[in-house]
Amino acid sequence: MDPLKIHTMPEHLRRPVLIMAFTGWNDAAESATTAARYLAAAINAEKFAEIDPEEFYHFGLTRPYVRFKTGSETEREVVWPATEFSISQSSDLPRDFIIGVAPEPHLRWRAYTDAILELSRMTQTTLVLTLGALLAEVPHTRPVRLVGGASDPELAARLGIRPTKYEGPTGIVGVLNTACRDRGMTTASVWANVPHYISGIENPKASLALLRRVSMLFGMEVDLRDLDEAGRQFDQNLAQVISQNKKIAGYVTKLEAKDVEDAPPAAAGTSDLPPASELVAEIEQFLREQRPE
């Protein structure tokens, strides 16, 4: 059975770009998937294809959920963790954009990436751009740092990001980028550095940084005011936390002093900073209390 399901094949395609983000290991503070979903909504992208989850997910780990069907108070439906693709062919955009968002699969990664590559072939996609976010020893008081890379040097220069020097375990984003390069496809990846001591809270500033870079790359106008406002509120909440807790303030001050351009991702047992785990609960509890009822 072909796991790729095309519901409606788009016509008159204009050099499509496929932008993908995955929840889980590749998505610190949900920054990448929030950016992808925000972009899809902002450009009015509509679902046209999906990858069936049956072969790729352990449903005991990524569970489906049940909800009432639209317009019904008695009939329920099961929503599976599928990979969904939406497309925008708006004349206001310089080209067509396909947005894919999914949980990182558990099984058969090579077959899974083959399904994505097949969609790219069918839609004559000219560029695959992946979004990611990683935990790093960076303070929230600094501008969000972006890292990544591209298969084409000119594209990398246009992205204006420092190439990552990371070696080690990878996620589906790394596997997909390698598969694209092996097939001769142009690919790029942009990752936001997320402060590891606030990893359990959605980080709108990281999502905003990713979308600003995407908008700059393609010369597109995207209304980012909601994310911008969320970022300001995020900073205000954190400022309140720090003003009331000397321990957290001291931790952030040490991070600011340590912060350098080539700071690596956070790694367990390698930092001379005090452990952040004891601060996380305090910060997250405070931020939750700030949310409206």
Least confident of 24-28, 86-90, 167-171, 244-248: 244-248
Angle, alpha carbons 127-128-130 (nearest 5°): 140
Instruction: Quote the CA–CA distance of 38 and 32 in Å, as a whole number.
Output: 10
Residues contacting residue 103 through CB under 8 Å, at least 6 positions apart: 22, 23, 24, 57, 62, 81
Instruction: Quote the CA–CA distance of 217 and 259 in Å, as a whole number.
Output: 27
Tokens of 202: 């959605």
Question: Is residue 245 very low, low, confident or very high in pLDDT (cuts 50, 70, 90)?
Answer: confident
Q: What pLDDT, on the 0 to 100 scale, is given for residue 286?
A: 66
Question: Of 230, 249, 229, 231, whose CA–CA distance to 239 is shortest?
Answer: 249
Q: Dihedral sign for Cα 171, 172, 173, 177, please.
A: positive
pLDDT top residue among 55 and 246:
55
Residues contacting residue 174 through CB under 8 Å, at least 6 positions apart: none
Contact 98, 16 (CB under 8 A): yes
pLDDT (tens digit, 9 = 90+) per residue, 36-64?
A: 999 999 999 999 999 999 999 999 999 99
Instruction: Quote the CA–CA distance of 257 and 117 in Å, as a whole number.
Output: 44
Question: What average pLDDT does this structure show over 259-273?
Answer: 52
Instruction: Quote the CA–CA distance of 249 and 253 in Å, as a whole number.
Output: 6
Mean pLDDT of the chain: 88
Residues contacting residue 282 through CB under 8 Å, at least 6 positions apart: 241, 245, 248
Instruction: Quote the CA–CA distance of 143 and 138 in Å, as a whole number.
Output: 10
Contact 150, 190 (CB under 8 A): no
Contact 182, 153 (CB under 8 A): no
SS3 46: strand
Q: Which residues face 133 on adjacent strands? A: 27, 192
Instruction: Quote the CA–CA distance of 252 and 266 in Å, as a whole number.
Output: 15
Domain range list for the chain:
4-290
Tokens of 278: 């004891």
Question: Of 165, 156, 162, 212, whose CA–CA distance to 31 is shortest?
Answer: 212
Q: What pLDDT, on the 0 to 100 scale, is given for residue 269?
A: 47
For domain 4-290, the CATH superfamily is PAC-like subunit (3.40.50.10900)
CB neighbours of residue 87 within 10 Å: 23
DSSP state at residue 123: T
What is the DSSP pairing of strand 162-163 with strand 146-150?
Answer: parallel
SS3 165: coil
pLDDT (tens digit, 9 = 90+) per residue, 201-236?
A: 889 999 999 999 999 999 999 999 999 999 999 898
